Amino acid sequence: MIQTTQDEGIVLATLFAEDTLDVACPACSHLTQLSVEWLQTNRHYACGKCGSELDIDGEQLLERLRDVDLAVDNLKSSIDRLKEML
């Protein structure tokens, strides 16, 4: 299960609702694109290639989302620094 605070959940939802993540099938390594919006309400998916029913690793996924979140934060502070230089 993905566990986030409500605020965190809203931020993630706003930032990534339109985004997709590639999830690799452990059986055949086929990458299936899942939208973040979809991932918020689903915990299983079927591999597009071999049809395996797969559980989504919520913890791993959340880590990746946090990485992206962090990257966005870094970008924002870079922009702020640039603005100060102008």
Query: Both tokens of residue 1?
Result: 């299960």
Q: Who contacts 31 (Cβ-Cβ below 8 Å, separation ≥6)?
A: 22, 23, 24, 25
Question: Does the protein bind Zn ion through residue 27 (CB under 5 A)?
Answer: yes
47 lies in the binding site for Zn ion (CB under 5 A):
yes
Out of 28, 70, 72, 79, point to the residue binding Zn ion (CB under 5 A): 28
| Cα-based angle 28, 38, 21 (whole degrees, multiple of 5) | 50
Looking at the DSSP assignment, which residues form a beta bridge with residue 34?
Answer: 21
Out of 12, 23, 25, 39, the residue judged to bind Zn ion by CB under 5 A = 25
- Taking CB under 5 A as the criterion, the residue among 11, 30, 35, 37 binding Zn ion is 30
Q: List contacts with Zn ion (CB under 5 A).
A: 25, 27-28, 30, 47, 49-50, 52
